[in-house]
Each structure stands twice: as C-alpha cells, then as structure tokens.
Amino acid sequence: MADTLLLRALKSQPKTVNLSYKKLDRLPRIIGKFRDIHQLQLKNNNLDSLPSEFSNLVQLESLNLGSNKFEDLPDELKLLISLEKLHLFNNQLVQLNAAVLSNLKNLTLLNLNHNKLKTVPREICRLTSLRHLSVENNQLEVLPPELCALSNLEELRLANNKLVGLPLELGFLVSLERLYIQKNKIRELPESISRCYRLRILDVAANDLRIFPTEIADLPLKELFCEANPLLQHVPVHSVQEEEVLSLKEISARFIMKELKDRWSYLRHAIRHYPQIKEMLSQASRCAVCGDSFLNTWLECVKFVDAKKVFKIRNSIQGTVPVRALLCSYKCFNAEGHSYYGVAFP
C-alpha cells in the first residue's frame, strides 16, 4: 500500500509526505526518489530501520520517526545535512550513534522522549544549532559536560529520569530560557546556574533538593516550580561553635586576594607571571557578610527568602525558600545584623 501511495505522489513531487499510521514494518526504497521533499511524517509505524536510499533526501528539513521501533539512530540520517527537526519519541533507543549525531549540524530540535537512554554521547556538542532538546521519560543517570557547549540551546527538558545532579558547567548554556528537570533525584543545583542569565522558567519539582544555589535570586525567573522537595526548614536548634583553624594555603590565598584589590600592590602585577595561581584564585567565593574573598574554607549557611518578592514569579509559590550563603568565618557568622542561619542536617 505504501508503495502505491508513493508512486502516485511521485508524479507531483510534493514537498510534504505523510505515511503515519500505515502499520509499516519497512519503508519502500522508492522513498529515495523524493529528492525535493522537505517534511516527512513516519510516526506510529513498526519501523526499526531505513533503506539506504533514504540518504538521498538531502533537502529534508523535518523528520518524524516517533512511535516506531528504532534502537539507535539510523546510519541513513548521517547525510541529511538540511535536517532541522528530528522526532524520535516513543521508540526503543538505548544509545545514540555518535557518528550520525555529529553530522546533524543544522538540527534545531531533537525530541528523544520516552526511550531507554541512560546517557547522552559527548558528541551532542556538535549540534551547534540546537535550540530545543527533550530527553524526558528515559533512564538518564548522568549528563556529559559537553552538553553545556550548546550555546544556542533555549529549552532543555529532562523530566522523569534518574539524574542525581547536573554538570558543573551548566552556566555555559547562556541562551537557556526554559529548564525542566522535575521528577529526578537531583540533590543540588550547580552554582553556575546563576550565569544562565536568560532563564525564565525553572521546574525542579519532585527532586531531592534541600537548598538553592547562592545567586539563584539573580536569575530573571518568571516561573519557578519546586514543590515535593525536602527543602530546609527554619527550625532553630542548639549548636556548638568549633575553633576555627585555617590552613596555610587558605591564609595565603586570602592575603593575596585582599592585596589584589589594591591597584598599586606589587602582588597585583606579579601574579601575571603565575597563571596557575591566578586560575586557582579565580575559583574563589565571596563572603555574604563582609564581602571578602576566600578559597575553600567556609561556613555553609542559609537565608530564607520570600519567593514571590525576590524572584518576581507569576506562579504562586507560598512562603519562603532556602538559598545557600557562604560565610568566610565564625566572626562573620556571629556578627549582628544579618539573616543567615547555620545549616543543620539530621
């Protein structure tokens, strides 16, 4: 039946062909004759492979292979250099052919929802035009840092997987506007998320979050969903202050960083000759109370902020949310006038 339909359509050389819901277990080789086709719908069939002639569709821009039986990206997609939208939802994908993925440089949308993927290959970074990536309802346990090289990515959907964290490099997704990571096992959001300065929608509901990153309030969020997380509560408990002992490395680092603020300081000019030290100091944090920099010895505290007032979001989050704050010393922690609390874990 599909052969007959395609033979009839071939006479008019259409730009769009729809072979969805045809119960196809193979695609006729005549499909390779449709060299000028731009859109092809093949969803809801029984396909697990494509004929070699499929590679002839070099003008194809949109391909829907959803609800079929593919276990990997077909090799025939490798030569589809014009492809912009690829739907592979509800298949049986257990891996993604890195060689195929690397060639789809014009892809702007990739839908991989409802498959069996446990990871995404590092070659995902080759999709430099990608703006929408959806890998919901899979079995993802980890994401490669290379994913964060997708500087044009605007929407990332990772809901309902098995993720326990996100890459520390998340802040490199400078075009990201919508991030959906609900229903995972994420325990902590990376501090670099504050550099996603276009982020408008953040859904972290139903994870294992206890606290939000330090500069989360700097994001221009319009919608924040964080229900069903074990967020820290403001419950006073008795604590014992331990004696503060800093390492020589920490003392030296703090001294150097203080000197670097002085434009006439000798160290400010000398450090240019020590790039490794300069790189190390660039990872420093700033005390939420006194503003001084420190390297890696701090007190983790929390500030409870009014979500609606601070985030200026549209959806109705009630009450406060806990935001992480780092303090450089017990001296700052014991200072009067701030609203930071020590973090106590059961």
Domain containing residue 278: 248-284
305 part of a folded domain = no
As for how many domains the chain has, the answer is: 2
Predicted model pTM: 0.87
Nearest to residue 55, comparing CAs of 23, 88, 31?
A: 31
Say yes or no: 173 and 118 in one domain.
yes
Please spell the DSSP secondary structure of 162-199, one letter per residue: --S---GGGGG-TT--EEE--SS------GGGGG-TT-
144 part of a folded domain = yes
Coil, strand or helix at 144: coil
306 part of a folded domain = no
Last residue of one domain, picked from the residues 263, 284, 305? 284
CATH of the domain at 111: 3.80.10.10
From first to last of its 346 residues, the chain has per-residue pLDDT tens of: 566 666 565 656 788 999 999 999 999 998 888 888 999 999 999 999 999 999 999 999 999 999 999 999 999 999 999 999 999 999 999 999 999 999 999 999 999 999 999 999 999 999 999 999 999 999 999 999 999 999 999 999 999 999 999 999 999 999 999 999 999 999 999 999 999 999 999 999 999 999 999 989 889 999 999 999 999 886 655 445 556 778 888 888 888 888 888 888 888 788 888 888 888 888 888 899 998 998 887 788 898 888 777 776 766 566 788 999 888 888 888 888 888 888 765 5
Say yes or no: 49 and 95 in one domain.
yes
323 part of a folded domain = no
337 part of a folded domain = no
d(CA 169, CA 97): 24
Greatest Cα pair distance, the chain, in angstroms, is 85
236 part of a folded domain = no
159 part of a folded domain = yes
Q: Which sign does the torsion angle of CA 119, 106, 133, 15 carry?
A: negative
309 part of a folded domain = no
Give the other-Cβ count within 10 Å of 158's Cβ: 25
Say yes or no: 123 and 257 in one domain.
no
159 contact partners, CB below 8 Å, separation of at least 6: 136, 137, 180, 181, 182, 183, 184, 203
Say yes or no: 275 and 165 in one domain.
no
d(CA 267, CA 264): 9
- Provide the token pair at 76: 């025939």
